[in-house]
Amino acid sequence: LSAEDLLRRLQQGKVYVAEQAARAIDRFFRRGNLIALRELALRRVAERVDAQMRGYMQEHGIRETWPAGDRLLVCVGPNPDAARLIRAGKRMATRLECEWIAAYVETPAVANLSAADREALAENLQLAEELEGSVVTLSGHNAAEEIIAYARDHNVTKILAGKPTHARWRDKLFGSMLYQLVRGSGSIDVYVISGEEAGNPPPGRAALVRRSPPREYLWAAFVVAICTAVGWLILRRLTVTDVAMVYLTGAVVVAARFGRGPSVLASVLGIACFDFFFIPPTFTFAVLLGVSLLISGLTVRIREQAVSARERERRTATLYVMSREFAASRGQEELLAAATRHLQNTFGSAVAVLLPGTGGRLGPAVGSLPGYPLEEKELSVASWVLQRGQSAGLGTDTLPAAEALYLPLIVSGNAVGVLGLRPQDPKRFQDPPQRQLLETFAGLIGAALERTILADRGQKAQLEVEAERLRTSLLSSLSHDLRTPLGSITGAASSLLQDSGGMPETTKRGLLQAIQEEAERMNRLIGNLLSMIRVETGSLQVQKEWQPLEDTIGVALIRLDERIKDHPVQVSLPPDLPLAFIDGILLEQVFINLLENAAKYTPADSPIAISAAVHDGVLTVEVADRGPGLPKGEETRVFDKFYRITGASAAGGVGLGLTICRGIITAHGGRIWAENRAGGGAVFKFTLPAPTPPPEPPPAEEIDLATR
């Protein structure tokens, strides 16, 4: 919808009521904001439609480009002059109003890039990111094939490459990347532009040649000498062909160990020695030299592919292990500890994870120590990264004087922290694969932090819900259970105050007794609330002593004499019941709550049974009744706070008595549970730790009164 239609809907009250709509229009839903929101929505829709179209093409095996919308791909290499190519791609994408991608192909020979080439490549990729381009790194042996395959998979319509300026013989010898792009592009348009002065050659073999140190060439000559000596030794017993195999073996060893240059030298010297010492000079030199060079070249290529495969495998294994540890971590502290360990082992750098604290000031995360000193200058760089959500510091164009590289930890589009790394080698992160691996690490840490943040928010929300439920239940219970005794006390007191002397003595006594009973009821209610607070806060102190269990039961029965007078109580304790190591006052409260609960929910004249026994060193106590029993499935819930049996006819209390019993028994090291009794009724059982008899007191010394 247009901004005008949205404003009209607001004014018509289709979104908010009239007053709210007026405030919304004045405060936020202004025409400019609505236009901006509409543009964002349309961009999101376009992205989703494009993703759906590419998914459809992949599902149906469509390899051709569908020019539904332009998408530009710029070929980036390690040449310092590639900046002009990147800027030209940005201008073209701006004119076309399309997405543009900067692609770099990581071939097996990438390990042979010089330090200058690596630095230039890192600057080019960083420039592409600053110009809002999507940077991708592809892996493969043939750069042109990888670029075309990526372009077809992502529905790229235009490819931008640099015009080669090197000698034509290189294209004849090693092949032309530009020629392969044009021939294999199909319906994709290929644009070629010239570079500045030195030109802008795409990443090819010429840029990836590594200069071997002189000692490697000396080793190659030494290997050829060894092969010659071995050939003289075996020539008497074997043929000349076997001697040729010795030289080929030496060339393969040099190629696998040292690289292309020494392998070429070993091939030339080996063939020269073989021709001079073993073969008459009849065209054998050229044939064997070609075979040797071919085998050496293939060996070098296999070696480069193996190095590249090992590097990719190492990165994948590192990311897998870290992701698995992140998934198993239970808190932010454990998560950051695992992240710091992996970063230190992978990049050989000192690591600091900075999160905003009180007042928004950055500081080390809780439970982690920074691996290097965080001076005020470093913290200011980290604060800039947190505010802007962009990398800065060592190896970047933003605040490069910093001692460490700082990357934002992005969570849901916002930076929630900063990752700082101070490498031993200041040029460590100029290598594009290393930089991309580090950014992947930062993305994983950000995603894991988001999980912990959401978990904390969910836990806090759950606690708030539980607190609100507890508050509601408490207010509901107190409003009923306090109002009833207060009403009775107020009514009885007002009747006594209004008496002018004509009220019978028995009536007065009854009113006074009602006041006393209701006051005791309120006292019990407040006592239960205080006991519940002690249980919940962990401040319940258990002071155990050796004492007989029957004394505790007897005191509880005396205190409940008036309330259980309509229920015969049967106490069955074995005569050899040992002393119990308990807190008599707390256990007395357990019996009071259980007996009062039984009397409250059972009909009059129904018996209540108390029994205890010791089995396998555990003291088990039971309080059973002959009431209606517990609803099926509610045996555990009866111990929850403020729980009342649904449909109970008896006037229940707040619903804390059984919860307090569970807290007291747990504090004694036992457990309590409820069951339905055979033949009808309910039984509450609790256990106490194995009662061991107290130590015998020392025998009293005999005193001779005569001598005193």
**Sequence letter at residue 234:** I
Residues 411-423: what's their mean pLDDT?
86
Structure tokens at 560: 């409940």
Asked whether residue 67 carries a pLDDT value surpassing 80, the answer given is no
Quote the pLDDT of residue 292. 63
pLDDT tens, position by position, 27-42: 777 788 888 888 888 8
Tokens at residue 314, please?
């190492």
pLDDT of residue 280: 59
- The encoded tokens of residue 46 equal 């376009």
Query: Higher confidence at residue 280 or residue 577?
Result: 577
Interval 292-315 mean pLDDT: 71
Of 357, 425, 423, the C-alpha closest to 386 is: 357
What does the alpha-carbon distance between residue 228 and residue 458 come to, in Å, rounded to a whole number? 76
For residue 707, pLDDT beyond 50: no
Helix runs in 332-423, H state only: 332-347, 376-388
Q: Which residues of 221-232 are buried (b: 16+ CB within 10 A; e: fewer)?
A: eebbeebbeebe
Q: What is the CA radius of gyration of the chain?
A: 43
Antiparallel, parallel or unpaired: β 405-411 and 349-356: unpaired
Q: Give the start-end residues of each E strand in 384-486.
A: 392-393, 405-411, 414-423
Give the residue, 700 or 633, on which the prediction is more confident: 633
- Whether 689 contacts 618, CB under 8 Å: yes
Sign of CA dihedral 166, 167, 168, 169: negative
> Where does the pLDDT of residue 55 fall: very low under 50, low under 70, confident under 90, or very high at 90 and above?
confident
Residues near 149 by Cβ (< 8 Å), separated by ≥ 6? none
Query: Sign (positive/negative) of CA torsion 353, 357, 363, 364?
Result: negative
Give the model's confidence band at 283: pLDDT under 50 very low, under 70 low, under 90 confident, else very high. very low
Instruction: Please compute the mean of the pLDDT values over residues 573-602 and round it to a whole number.
Output: 88
> Is 2 buried (19+), middle (13-18) or exposed (0-12) by CB count in 10 A?
exposed
Q: What is the mean pLDDT of residues 317-340?
A: 82
C-alpha span between 540 and 562 (Å, rounded): 29
What is the separation of C-alpha 215 from the centre of its chain, rounded to a whole number of angstroms?
A: 49
CA 269, chain centre distance (Å): 59
DSSP state of 560: T
Provide the sign of the torsion angle of the four alpha carbons 46, 48, 53, 54, taken in this order.
positive
pLDDT of residue 31: 80
Return the percentage of the chain with pLDDT > 90, whole number. 10
Q: What is the mean pLDDT of the chain?
A: 79
For 357-397, the pLDDT digits (tens) are: 777 788 887 666 778 888 888 889 999 998 888 889 888 87
The per-residue DSSP string of 282-295 comes to SSHHHHHHHHHHHH
Strands 362-364 and 349-356: antiparallel
Between the two ends of the chain, the Cα-to-Cα distance in Å is 113
Q: Is residue 147 a contact partner of residue 154, using CB atoms and an 8 Å limit?
A: no
- Tell me the torsion sign for CA atoms 421, 425, 430, 431: negative
Q: Where do runs of H (alpha helix) occur along 349-422? A: 376-388
How far apart, in whole angstroms, are the C-alpha atoms of residue 573 and residue 578? 10
pLDDT value of position 625: 92
pLDDT category, 135, cuts 50, 70, 90? confident
H helices, E strands: number in the chain: 20, 17
Helix (H, G, I), strand (E, B) or coil at 214: helix
| 599 pLDDT above the threshold of 90 | no
Query: What's this model's pTM, rounded to 2 decimal places?
Result: 0.46
Q: What b/e string do you get for 551-586 counting C-beta neighbours within 10 Å, with b at 16 or more?
A: ebbebbbebbeebbeebebeeeeeeeebebbbbbeb
Q: Which two tokens stand for residue 122?
A: 């890192």
**Predicted confidence (pLDDT) per residue in 150-202, tens digit:** 898 888 899 999 888 777 777 776 678 888 888 888 888 999 987 544 334 44
Amino acid at 681: G
